[in-house]
């Protein structure tokens, strides 16, 4: 592209580095910001710089937080003896949004993926094992994606955790609510038949 201004080119270049944002979209976003009040643009720029500079990770569960201990880990009404293991902060938000979970979390920071060179030591797995070893835990829920990496990570975690004799569960997999049988893939449908649940349980 042929920019009339170095400042414009710089700003567009920075936006175009974001995932899924090309040069044209970047230009559109930058021109949008140019039409805003200077104060608004400064607030935009500062919000992201401040975030990067001041953000902390909870020392217990490794979730993104404004403090050294996150709101969930420090909340008195959360059940500290149930730990839900998730990949990242987005999954914490997804589970929180359901309003169905009242335990605490453990954020792994990724999934085991030999293809991407991510091994167990790159994730907060040792700290999970230590947490289970040093604090009373009643149940560990593995809420990881139903992908190859997710399954690998679940298998590894299960091996590391089974000696503690604490129930290790995984979230249920099956046909989504509103999902039609004829469009379900055969693996999901097959598993959902094998792991069928009594009607009373399903209706709880």
Q: Does 96 bind a copy of itself (CB under 8 A)?
A: yes
Minimum distance of a copy of itself from residue 145's CB (angstroms): 15
Q: Does 123 bind a copy of itself (CB under 8 A)?
A: no
Q: Which two tokens stand for residue 56?
A: 């902390």
Residue from 22, 59, 62, 65 binding a copy of itself (CB under 8 A):
65
Minimum distance of a copy of itself from residue 200's CB (angstroms): 31
Q: Does 89 bind a copy of itself (CB under 8 A)?
A: yes
Q: Does 32 bind a copy of itself (CB under 8 A)?
A: yes
Residue from 46, 68, 130, 135 binding a copy of itself (CB under 8 A):
46
Minimum distance of a copy of itself from residue 158's CB (angstroms): 27
Q: Does 77 bind a copy of itself (CB under 8 A)?
A: no
Q: Does 133 bind a copy of itself (CB under 8 A)?
A: no
Q: Are 154 and 173 in contact, with CB atoms under 8 Å apart?
A: no
DSSP 64-91: EESSSS-HHHH-TTSEEEEEEEESSHHH
Choice between 89 and 168, CB closer to a copy of itself: 89
Quick one: DSSP state of residue 18? S
Q: Report the sign of the C-alpha dihedral through residues 35, 40, 43, 48, in that order.
A: negative
Q: Which two tokens stand for residue 122?
A: 């790159």
Minimum distance of a copy of itself from residue 32's CB (angstroms): 5
How many Cα atoms within 13 Å fall on the side-chain side of residue 158?
Answer: 12
DSSP 98-154: HT---EEEEE-SS--BGGGTB-GGGTTHHHHHHHHHHS--SEEEE---SSHHHHHHH
Report the interface residues with a copy of itself, using CB under 8 A. Answer: 1-8, 10-11, 13-15, 17-21, 25, 27-34, 36, 38, 41-55, 63-66, 70-72, 88-90, 92-93, 96-97
């Amino acid at each position: 592209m042929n920019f009339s201004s170095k400042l414009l080119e710089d700003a567009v270049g920075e936006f175009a580095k974001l995932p899924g944002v090309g040069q044209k979209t970047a230009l559109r976003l930058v021109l949008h910001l140019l039409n805003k009040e200077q104060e608004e643009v400064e607030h935009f720029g500062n919000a992201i710089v401040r975030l990067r500079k001041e953000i902390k990770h909870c020392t217990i569960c490794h979730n993104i937080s404004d403090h050294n201990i996150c709101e969930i880990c420090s909340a008195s009404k959360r059940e500290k003896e149930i730990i839900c293991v998730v990949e990242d902060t987005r999954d914490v938000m997804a589970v929180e949004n359901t309003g169905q979970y009242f335990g605490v979390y453990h954020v792994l920071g990724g999934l085991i993926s030999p293809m991407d060179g991510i091994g167990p030591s790159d994730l907060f797995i040792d700290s999970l094992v230590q947490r289970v070893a040093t604090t009373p835990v009643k149940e560990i829920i593995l809420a990881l994606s139903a992908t190859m990496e997710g399954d690998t990570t679940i298998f590894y975690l299960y091996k590391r955790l089974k000696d503690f004799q604490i129930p290790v569960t995984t979230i249920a997999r099956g046909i989504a609510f509103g999902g039609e049988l004829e469009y379900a893939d055969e693996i999901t449908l097959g598993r959902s038949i094998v792991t069928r649940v009594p009607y009373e349980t399903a209706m709880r």
